[in-house]
Amino acid sequence: MSENSSTEKVWFITGASRGFGRALAEAALKAGDLVVASARRPETLRELHDVHGDRVHPVALDVTDPDAARAAIEAAVTRFGRIDVLVNNAGYANVSPIETADDGDFRAQFETNFWGVYHVTRAALPVLRAQGSGTFVQFSSVGGRVGGSPGIASYQAAKFAVDGFSRVLAAETAPFGLRVMVVEPSGFATDWAGSSMTVQDIPEAYDATVGAMNRRVRQSTAGAAGDPEKGADIVVRAVHRDEVPGHLLLGVNAVTMALDYSRAQLAEAREWEAVSRSADFAEPAPVPLPSGEGA
């Protein structure tokens, strides 16, 4: 479908003070749209408002607070009359092995990375449903598709949950004219692996896995490959299309990892296909397991 950038849209963006959220706000404004920019500390949005004036409406929002989410959505509708694009971007990751992770920190990450998405989506749903139009842009990660990154179990578990939640959201709201797009970036030059990330103690036994990940991601001097401005421009252009992809990969590494994962997943499903089918009552069994079972 072609792009349709002539229609002014109202964006509601969580975590808009920096990183991808800030880049998205700038890209939407550049496209001629209006932006409700939210952050835990709204004073961090002052510069954005100073530059763009009344086309930006800053609001305070702690996404872990459902009452605050409802109040922020209400403020957005009061200011601009509608919400066309709801972007759940706020999120962070801390590093720790599962075995030694602090329970409170693990839960706190999940509160922001999944429950924050849940609260803001729930608050916005009645508005978009009543409008009969609107797009949910749910920021996940390529890790929320392929998983397996040592040290960030809470973050990746939450991103898998966001994906599952968003697939059901898409199925339930399609009859209302709503759209859902899950964004899956690889590494981008944001503060995700900088001051936003806390690295807890990493025991020596986990140095080759969690420690190596920490050195590669947080201590690397090369920097991330992804350009937030280019990524944000792609998201805005995609939203302005008549149709959006259900899942939008961003970055070379995201594409490579996703394709490799899908090929391996398909190959495994095919290898075990006969065995898997044999679990049904009507199927013949037992079926020999694939070679290499070692019995």
Active site (catalytic) residues: 140, 155, 159
**By the 8 A CB rule, do 71 and 124 touch?**
no
**By the 8 A CB rule, do 231 and 23 touch?**
yes
The residues with which 228 forms a beta bridge, in sequence order, are none
**By the 8 A CB rule, do 100 and 209 touch?**
no
Residue burial 71-87, b: 16+ Cβ < 10 Å; e: rest: ebbebbbeebeebbbbb
Tell me: cis bond preceding 66? Omega within 30 of 0 counts. Answer: no
Query: How far, in Å, are 84, 129, 172, 242, 253 from residue 12 at the CA level?
Result: 8, 16, 21, 19, 28
* Residue given tokens 């970055």 in the structure block: 251
Number of H helices, E strands in the chain: 11, 7
According to DSSP, residue 285 is labeled: -
What are phi and psi for residue 243, nearest 5 degrees? Answer: -130, 150
Give 110's Cβ-side CA count (13 Å radius).
12
Separation of alpha carbons 122 and 69, rounded Å = 9
As a whole number of Å, the end-to-end CA separation of the chain is 54
